[in-house]
Chain A
Amino acid sequence: MDTKKQKDFQKSSNYARSLIEASLDPLVTISADGKIMDVNEATVRVTGVPREKLIGTDFSNYFTDPEKAKDGYRQVFKDGKVQDYELEIQNVNGDLTPVSYNASVYYDENGEVAGIFAAARDISDLKQVERALSEAITPAMKVWDGILMLPLVGNVDSKRAQIVMETMLTSVKENQIKVAILDVMGVPIIDSAVAGYLVKVIKATKLMGCESIISGISPAVAQTMVNLGLDIGDVTSTSSMENALQMAFSFLELEVIHK
């Protein structure tokens, strides 16, 4: 009888284990001091570290931002769970995998917290789509030979500013741009952070030997910028796109003539 019980137990244990191993999502259990207690095959694949080397090491070691990883499991112990917690797993070969963690505490037979069960989901595709989307709303267009226009619509944060910078500089290089116009008509709020980003983009553009103009400074924006004491340095700015184009033409010594 005992042997049958043992067999049953063995069977159900094997079954549970095989389910865990079958999961395509990296699964991991973490102890209260942040050490890895158990992993499945998917975790081994995504980190590139063999199972026996993973177990017993710090969970936070395998991420690009260990502090954020630590904050993550501390939050689980505090609140009992976290959902959609984004981290980036670093493989030993250098590959990075953006993942979203769902994690919660689990209990032992006495009802005490035994550790954290954390499941990661690969969100590389999602990240790619997000990036493509923000690039799509940051189009750089060549409006004239040597003139580039980049209309900004929506809020600007540091990520967006980075993309604007990249888009601006690469198209300046590729299209032999002489004057770049950054239109901020569609940016609702320009605070010190946003102004800082804009000045950086303009400075970098100037470093490429390209003249640049900020256009679309509305009365409200002009007022808040002065009230906040924001200085955009010696950046040329103007209220309308029309003025900016006119400036660009005169810079290129071009003239628009009535037929």
Chain B
Amino acid sequence: MMEDLDVQLVSTTIVNKCLVVPIQVELFDDTIIQLQSEILDKIQKEDLRGVIIDLSAINVVDSFLAGKLREIGYQTVLMGVDTILTSLKPEVAASIADMEYDLGNVIMARDQDHAFQIIDSNSKKII
């Protein structure tokens, strides 16, 4: 029952060969872990160019979430795909900087448009 709910809470879509993960709810630790493996599975199954995680609805980033995002960043890069976080709220950005959380090699974007631009320019480099 709970698992069904979680799947519904974070429904990913693939747009222009990019996995878009819009997070519309405050994440529970379980949801994040589930999401993490879902993203990695999708990279393996589909031919993806990038992962875009939209954090516009997130109000709080704790050390666990920051750590997981960092892990996702490194893991997706190992699988050949960049992870891009978009649409952070100003207060969330401020608190991440204040707490000195390290997000590793995830790329930050202003909004989804910007994220697609970054992915486009990165894929061009490879070709």
Residues of chain A touching chain B, judged by Cβ–Cβ distance below 8 Å, are 165-166, 169-170, 172-173, 176, 178, 200-201, 203-210
For A173, the chain B residues whose CB sits under 8 A away are: 89-90
Interface residues in B94-113 (C-beta closer than 8 Å to A): 94, 96-98, 103, 108-111
Question: Which of A169, A172, A200, A207 has most B Cβ within 10 Å?
Answer: A207
* Interface residue tally for chain B (C-beta within 8 Å): 18
Determine whether the beta carbon of B86 is less than 8 Å from that of A209. Answer: yes
**7 closest Cβ pairs, A-B complex:** A169-B90, A204-B97, A209-B110, A207-B93, A209-B109, A203-B97, A204-B93
Q: Pick 22 A–B contacts, CB within 8 A, sort by A.
A: A165-B94, A166-B94, A169-B91, A169-B93, A169-B94, A172-B90, A173-B90, A178-B110, A203-B97, A204-B94, A205-B93, A207-B88, A207-B92, A207-B93, A207-B97, A207-B103, A207-B108, A208-B93, A208-B108, A209-B109, A209-B110, A209-B111
Partner of A204, one of B86, B96, B109, B110: B96
Determine whether the beta carbon of A206 is less than 8 Å from that of B94. Answer: no
For the complex, what is the distance from the CA of A153 to the CA of B90, rounded to whole Å?
23
For the complex, what is the distance from the CA of A206 to the CA of B90, rounded to whole Å?
11
**Is B114 located at the chain interface by the 8 A CB criterion?**
yes
Partner of A210, one of B85, B91, B110: B110
For the complex, what is the distance from the CA of A201 to the CA of B97, rounded to whole Å?
7
Chain B: CB-nearest residue to A178 = B110
Determine whether the beta carbon of B97 is less than 8 Å from that of A208. Answer: no
For B114, the chain A residues whose CB sits under 8 A away are: 209
Question: Which of A165, A178, A204 has most B Cβ within 10 Å?
Answer: A204
For A176, the chain B residues whose CB sits under 8 A away are: 110
